[in-house]
Amino acid sequence: MSLRKGVRVLTPNGAIAPTGTWSVGARAGDFLFIAGMRGINPANNSLVDGDEARIRQAFLNMKMIAGSEGADLPDCVRLTVFVTDMQRLRTVVNKIQEELWSGGPYPPRTIVEVAALNQDDFFEVEGTFYSPKSR
């Protein structure tokens, strides 16, 4: 965890390893900003197979990083979801979120179909969380 002028870059144990010029998350004030997460298994840094399993892994990667700063999925205030096939994947995303959020309530979400993701992946989720330091 690096200290900068108020911004704290997050480097929790067990998170996936950044493969480029990015960190997995940052805290500023009471908010946590998590990098776009894909379904990479942090144990071996390789993509998980299968639509459901890969999407679940991406959400779990996000949850793990938020958890390192005291936030859980209900503390999420914004999800932006990028898929490469809306038709096939939106229902899968809904199913996995039902499971992980235990039926809700759910955070505000935006879901769009993009042309491509890194490593020709099909799912990426960007999450913002609220985790007041004084609570």
51-67 vs 86-100: helix axis angle to the nearest 10?
A: 50
The reply to whether 14 sits near its own copies by the rule CB under 8 A is no
Question: Residue from 15, 16, 26, 60 that binds its own copies (CB under 8 A)?
Answer: 26
Q: How many residues at the interface with its own copies, by CB under 8 A?
A: 60
Distance CA 130, CA 135 (A): 11
What residues from 60 to 99 belong to the interface with its own copies (CB under 8 A)? Answer: 74-80, 82, 84, 86, 90, 93-94, 97-98
Distance CA 34, CA 90 (A): 21
Find the Cα–Cα–Cα–Cα dihedral 8, 33, 59, 50, rounded to 10°.
-100
> CB-based contacts of 68: which residues, under 8 Å, 6+ apart?
10, 12, 15, 25
The reply to whether 7 sits near its own copies by the rule CB under 8 A is yes
Nearer to its own copies by Cβ, of 1 and 45: the residue is: 1
Give the Cβ contact number of residue 43 at 10 Å. 8
Tokens representing 25 are: 């998350």
Nearer to its own copies by Cβ, of 23 and 41: the residue is: 23
The reply to whether 42 sits near its own copies by the rule CB under 8 A is no
Binding region for its own copies (CB under 8 A): 2, 4-7, 9, 18, 20-26, 28-31, 33-36, 74-80, 82, 84, 86, 90, 93-94, 97-98, 101, 104-118, 124, 126, 128, 130-132, 135
